[in-house]
Amino acid sequence: MNRTSLIAASLLIIAVAAGGIWYARAPKASDAESPPAASAADAREVLYWYDPMKPDVHFDAPGPSPFMDMALVPKYRQAVSGEGLVSIDPRMAQNLGVRTAPVERGTFWQRIDTVGSVAIDDRRIRVIESRASGWIESQTVHTVGATVRRGERVAGVYSPALYAAQQEYVLALRAGDAALAEASRQRLRLLGATEAQVDGVRRRGTAERELSLVSPIDGVVIDLDAHEGRQIGPGMPLMRIADLSRVWVYADIPEAQADWIAQGRPAEVQLLNSTGSLLEGEVDYLYPTADAASRTVRARLVFDNPDGLLRPGMSVDVTLYGGARRDVLTVPSEALIRTGSRNTVIVAEGEGRFRPVSVELGPERRGRTVIVGGLEEDQQVVVSGQFLIDSEASLQGVYARMDQVTPHGQHP
């Protein structure tokens, strides 16, 4: 068999060239007379061979990779071309699934998703207290958490001072002394009698030994310090009642996003129970101080709660809407390479050339991140396979040269 036949019998020649794997056809008979000229890639100096999946491990000779089912790839001295550029053979980039996406300019809707806790609205708490010395002779509310209605009797109090004021009022009315009657009426009000109770004394014409304490609002008893037979004194709180038809929700916001939120901005809470109900409210107050440990700022939200779904103490998912930021640059969040010392993206320059660029980041939402500095509109950034290029740039000292120009965390 002549040389031409031997060459024609070869099914496939696999060679590694220009940093990528390529497949050559068997040469025709006309090609056998003269050997093909060496390619430009073959003429370049090979520094070492490596596996693209483990580029930090170097080999002195070509061969199969001990890590993956593939051949080792040569590293040429010309792999870094130009200031900060990394060159990768386009065929190798295609085999590794390198994909790019454009830097886009548009509107970024600012939204914060966090957790919150339901609390009682402090402005809807009422205290029932004694304004005169006496004793609790009867009681109708005995437990914390009891629901009461406005005007409902919660306890009965005997007070010598209140009883004497009632008698004085009755005597003034019988004597027809309008000035004394009015003074007695005012004294009863100052001792804690309600307007309805004073009118009751006037209608009956007699003093009542036990004066009822009534709830001033519809609500729930959240604190109880009243017991039958207990002696009470002026200013002693007997119980606290909270109106839960409107409640507060406290939410902690990352301090970097606190400037998005302002009083009156819309907010939503979603219950974590089986109903998963979604309720709408608004930001009532943004606290002026930040938590030094968690680096958050607290916001107070207000929600109507007519059905009592929001119970003080429960946890909820909170969504805060901060409006829109218009005319900003964004990239897919998957394009970002975060190392702790810098934030980087890989910009595709075309023809297998890539440039690592340090960027300044803004907020992130729904898979896109605002770019404050470092990129321009319509540039192409690598969104898949960028970590291999990043490793290549690190091996070639691209980042070291970037750091010599600007400190970590800043972009050139």
Per-residue model confidence as pLDDT tens digits over 377-397:
999 999 988 877 877 777 666
- In whole angstroms, what is the distance from residue 322 CA to residue 106 CA? 17
Confidence at residue 88, expressed as pLDDT on a 0 to 100 scale: 76
Average pLDDT of the residues in 185-201: 91
What separation, in Å, do the N-terminal and C-terminal C-alpha atoms of the chain show? 64
Higher pLDDT, 248 or 354: 248
Element (H, E) at 162: helix 160-175
- In whole angstroms, what is the distance from residue 112 CA to residue 317 CA? 11
Q: Tell whether the model's pLDDT for residue 38 goes beyond 60.
A: no
Average pLDDT of the residues in 311-328: 89
- In whole angstroms, what is the distance from residue 111 CA to residue 81 CA? 42
Lowest mean pLDDT, pick from 215-219, 303-307, 317-321, 366-370: 366-370
Higher pLDDT, 46 or 161: 161
Lowest mean pLDDT, pick from 29-38, 115-124, 149-158, 249-258: 29-38
pLDDT tens digit sequence for 58-70: 888 899 988 888 8
Q: Tell whether the model's pLDDT for residue 194 goes beyond 60.
A: yes
Average pLDDT of the residues in 154-182: 92
Quickly list DSSP for 82-133.
STT-EE--HHHHHHTT-EEEE-EEEEEEEEEEEEEEEEE-GGGEEEEE-SS-
Q: Tell whether the model's pLDDT for residue 17 goes beyond 70.
A: no
* 84 pLDDT tier (thresholds 50, 70, 90): low
When mean pLDDT is compared over 7-21, 336-350, 368-382, 391-405, the highest value belongs to: 368-382
Q: What are phi and psi of 287, to 5 degrees?
A: -70, 145
Average pLDDT of the residues in 220-245: 93
Confidence at residue 73, expressed as pLDDT on a 0 to 100 scale: 81
Average pLDDT of the residues in 228-257: 93
- In whole angstroms, what is the distance from residue 55 CA to residue 68 CA? 12
Average pLDDT of the residues in 89-100: 79
Higher pLDDT, 280 or 411: 280
Confidence at residue 72, expressed as pLDDT on a 0 to 100 scale: 87
Q: Are 90 and 351 in contact (CB under 8 A)?
A: yes
- Domain definitions of the chain by residue range: 3-75, 99-109+326-405, 111-121+245-323, 124-242
**Ramachandran category for residue 97: left, alpha or beta (phi over 0 → left; psi -120 to 50 → alpha):** left
Q: In the chain, pLDDT over 70 holds for what percent of residues?
A: 83
Place of tokens 């060239």: 17
Q: Tell whether the model's pLDDT for residue 7 goes beyond 50.
A: no
Quickly list DSSP for 173-220.
HHHT-HHHHHHHHHHHHHTT--HHHHHHHHHH-S--SEEEEE-SSSEE
Q: Tell whether the model's pLDDT for residue 33 goes beyond 60.
A: no
CATH architecture of 124-242: Beta Barrel (2.40)
* 10 pLDDT tier (thresholds 50, 70, 90): very low
Task: Provide the β-strand partners of residue 217.
Answer: none
pLDDT tens digit sequence for 259-299: 888 899 999 999 988 777 899 999 999 999 999 999 999 99
Lowest mean pLDDT, pick from 36-45, 224-233, 360-369: 36-45
- In whole angstroms, what is the distance from residue 219 CA to residue 245 CA? 8
- In whole angstroms, what is the distance from residue 126 CA to residue 165 CA? 26
- Classify domain 99-109+326-405 by CATH number: 2.40.420.20
The overall average pLDDT reported for the chain is 81
What does the radius of gyration of the chain's CA atoms come to, in whole angstroms?
A: 40
* 15 pLDDT tier (thresholds 50, 70, 90): very low
Average pLDDT of the residues in 326-349: 88
Confidence at residue 162, expressed as pLDDT on a 0 to 100 scale: 92
Average pLDDT of the residues in 135-159: 93
When mean pLDDT is compared over 29-33, 51-55, 91-95, 359-363, the highest value belongs to: 359-363
111-121+245-323 carries CATH number 2.40.30.170: yes
Confidence at residue 9, expressed as pLDDT on a 0 to 100 scale: 34
Confidence at residue 143, expressed as pLDDT on a 0 to 100 scale: 93
Amino acid making up residue 130: S
pTM to 2 decimal places: 0.59
Q: Which of 48, 100, 71, 15 has the alpha carbon at shortest distance from 392?
A: 48
